[in-house]
A and B are shown apart, each in its own frame.
Chain A
Amino acid sequence: MAAATSSGSGNLWRSVAFYAFIAFFLLVALFPLLWVFKMSIITRAEIFASPPTILPNTLTGTSYETIFSDARFQRAILNSVIVAGVTTVICLFLGSIAAYAIARLRFRFKSPFLTLILAIAFFPPVAIIAPLFVQFSQAGIINTYASLIIPDVVFALPLTVWLLVAFFKELPFDLEEAAKVDGATTLQAFWKVIVPLSAPGVFTTAILTFIFAWNEFLFANTFAFDISVQPVTVVIPQFATIYTVDYGAQAAAAVVVTIPLVILVLIFQRRIVSGLTAGAVKG
């Protein structure tokens, strides 16, 4: 905040411009969310008003009543939580073991290996969707949680590994050695020193993985046929009858499914940013 530290009227303008820019940036970034939120609390008539209103005129809870009285939506949220949750747990378990090894061990072809992992993340999912469909059908797991979780894990794991490698590399090596000299086994050193210290990194990674899986649409839309497994991303567009689309209900559903993510980030934000490792070494 260099702008705020100096005095004089020229600087006043600079700090006004500074905050005006921040406000503008926030507006642009948040506009889609704000617009969806507005749509979820106004009447159907206002949604279709032309020209559209900027601020909501009529407030109503109908859209929220619609979605919460709809059993499909509740089931879809449960499905999303299960798919994203299991994906996150699997990714973190496999990812942390792999990342710890990559960060700490010296072995040949480490960087080609990391590049390969990253390449998988960039592979276009559309390209494998047809073969996967055939294989999942033959294996008899089409339209089950497994058919969503498996591709989610495949595409989220590279992200998880990369993030965790970065976090583990930051941890001071000495601490592990200190623990060993203090009498800890490798496993004790890992559980009592490394794991508590990497908690912020692991939380961050978990949240990003969870969001990734929560937002996944392509595989879900293809491999899940009915409401027993369909997650919210697939169910939201279905708030429509043959004749009309219920935009208000869709908007309300979108708001509702975003809230868990926001809450997650808010809860763990302090852990994420708190430099827990500070003070281990002269900083």
Chain B
Amino acid sequence: MAEITFEDVKKVYGEDVVAIQDMNLDIPDGEFVVFVGPSGCGKSTALRMVAGLEDITDGKLFIGDEVVNDVPPRERDIAMVFQNYALYPHMNVRENMAFALKLRKVDSDEIDRRVNDAAKILGLENFLNRKPVALSGGQRQRVALGRAIVRDPKAFLMDEPLSNLDAKLRVQMRTEIAKLHNRIGVTTIYVTHDQTEAMTMADRIVLLKDGIVQQIAPPQEMYEYPNNVFVAGFIGSPAMNFVKGHLEKDNGNIVAAFGEARVPLSREKLENVDLDPYINNDVVVGIRPENIEDAEVVENPEGTTPITVEPQVIESMGNEKYVYFELSQAEKAHMESLAEEEAEVGGEDDDAGELLVARVSPETVAREGKEVRLLIDSSKVHLFDPETEEAILQ
């Protein structure tokens, strides 16, 4: 077990494809860190540099106290789980798991003991003599994990290990990996593009975009205090709503105005921020769907801001409903950093891109096409600079 440190690590492919830009990160011994970000942001590259499968263009990478920039993979003593498992097809499950130990000339009794232990932990006892081709996706995934845990390595690296599994199995394996980590406590770097996986599994999340680290924080902190528009939009589902707003002073209160809505900003939040440059200027207002509720089901409307909207689509999730609406006279803010994401998501429903969404109680009285009053939780409103997209009020 060991800590892993990135010190100004940079990766350039070929002449000018910058995959990772000056990355700094300290992973203490035993931490479970998740690298998350959209496709092509450099997550795999960062992970593969730790594994030694990709050389480091600039900066230093430490495993323990040792700079490993020039240490080949086999001497780094780390285990990796690949997205498509990379099991050796000509070896059975036992041989797959024993391969690394054999290469290290561990004696055969010890190999048997460790393989059997790992098989027990992962429920693979009955499959030890099967070839990978005769296993289901979930079982293959477990063998890939088993191959990593028999080794007792300094660190685990996992590159989207669950993305080939179906939704249900994914959730199940997610828990199993978390349990495994609690049990053996090895430093782990886990790569995924799924924010739910990041939120549920991570001790800390490292959010990347275009090779640049956007924020490093524990899941809850990243959810509550996103650094910028990109982080705010990436973490949370459905994604945060962004509208163009205007900051005004009103009887000593600062209010964020958009459309008919005027959201007074809570004083506690304002204590350590200087909003003066933004007064009477444009801002981007960010509101999470879960911070908008149907007025009818709210018992105490104190600290909320009402808006009246006409729902266009209502989706029922069973335990909650998603209400999609347009906000009259307010414009949805189209953030550059989110443009690609929206393009991907927007594919299913062109309108959804233009609509705001509220995540309300299933008891809501909202009906499609009928006006309804919604309440925004004023204390949960985020403000961003429209130019830099940095958070001004988290």
Q: How large is the interface on B (under 10, 10 to 19, 20 to 34, 35 or more residues)?
A: 20 to 34
Q: Determine if B137 and A182 form an interchain contact, defined as CB atoms under 8 angstroms apart.
A: no
Smallest CB separation, A192 vs chain B (Å): 8
Residue A267 at the chain B interface, CB threshold 8 Å: no
Q: Do A281 and B90 form a contact, CB below 8 Å, given A182-B99, A182-B100?
A: no
Q: Do A183 and B131 form a contact, CB below 8 Å, given A280-B87, A282-B85?
A: no
Q: Determine if B103 and A196 form an interchain contact, defined as CB atoms under 8 angstroms apart.
A: no
Note all chain A residues with C-beta closer than 8 A to B185: none
Q: Can you list, as one digit per residue, whether each of B130-149 has a CB less than 8 Å from chain A (1) or not (0)? A: 01111101001000000100
Q: Determine if B133 and A278 form an interchain contact, defined as CB atoms under 8 angstroms apart.
A: yes
Q: Tell me the count of chain A residues lying within 8 A, CB to CB, of chain B.
A: 24
Q: Determine if A282 and B74 form an interchain contact, defined as CB atoms under 8 angstroms apart.
A: no
Which residue from B73, B86, B103, B135 sits with its C-beta under 8 Å from A175?
A: B86
Note all chain A residues with C-beta closer than 8 A to B88: 175, 178-179, 193, 280
Note all chain B residues with C-beta closer than 8 A to A188: 103
Q: Do A172 and B84 form a contact, CB below 8 Å, given A180-B73, A279-B132?
A: yes
Which residue from B73, B90, B131 sits with its C-beta under 8 Å from A181?
A: B73
Note all chain A residues with C-beta closer than 8 A to B99: 179, 182, 192
Note all chain B residues with C-beta closer than 8 A to A181: 51-53, 73-74, 76, 78-80
CB-nearest residue of chain B to A197: B90
Instruction: Give the residues from 246 to 291 in chain B that come closer than 8 angstroms, CB to CB, to chain A.
Output: none
Smallest CB separation, B9 vs chain A (Å): 19
Q: Determine if B82 and A280 form an interchain contact, defined as CB atoms under 8 angstroms apart.
A: no
Smallest CB separation, B257 vs chain A (Å): 52
Smallest CB separation, B162 vs chain A (Å): 12
Note all chain A residues with C-beta closer than 8 A to B100: 182-183
Q: Determine if B85 and A183 form an interchain contact, defined as CB atoms under 8 angstroms apart.
A: no
Smallest CB separation, B105 vs chain A (Å): 10
Q: Do A178 and B80 form a contact, CB below 8 Å, given A184-B74, A276-B90, A282-B164?
A: yes
Which residue from B76, B85, B131 sits with its C-beta under 8 Å from A281?
A: B85
The CA of A172 and the CA of B88, in the complex, are separated in Å by 10
Q: Can you list, as one digit per residue, whether each of B71-108 has a CB less than 8 Å from chain A (1) or not (0)? A: 01110101110101111111000000001100110000
Q: Do A174 and B78 form a contact, CB below 8 Å, given A182-B147, A276-B89, A276-B90?
A: no
Note all chain A residues with C-beta closer than 8 A to B87: 279-280
Smallest CB separation, A193 vs chain B (Å): 6
The CA of A21 and the CA of B4, in the complex, are separated in Å by 67
Smallest CB separation, B107 vs chain A (Å): 16
The CA of A15 and the CA of B140, in the complex, are separated in Å by 41
Note all chain A residues with C-beta closer than 8 A to B103: 182-184, 188
Residue A115 at the chain B interface, CB threshold 8 Å: no
Q: Can you list, as one digit per residue, whether each of B38-75 has a CB less than 8 Å from chain A (1) or not (0)? A: 00000000000001110000000000000000001110
Smallest CB separation, A155 vs chain B (Å): 33
Note all chain A residues with C-beta closer than 8 A to B134: 279
The CA of A183 and the CA of B51, in the complex, are separated in Å by 11
Q: Determine if B90 and A174 form an interchain contact, defined as CB atoms under 8 angstroms apart.
A: no
Q: Do A280 and B74 form a contact, CB below 8 Å, given A177-B53, A197-B90?
A: no
Note all chain B residues with C-beta closer than 8 A to A276: 89-90
Query: Which residues of B are at the interface with A, using a C-beta cutoff of 8 A?
Result: 51-53, 72-74, 76, 78-80, 82, 84-90, 99-100, 103-104, 131-135, 137, 140, 147, 151, 164
- CB<8 Å pairs between A and B, sample of 8: A178-B82, A179-B88, A181-B52, A181-B73, A182-B103, A188-B103, A197-B90, A280-B85
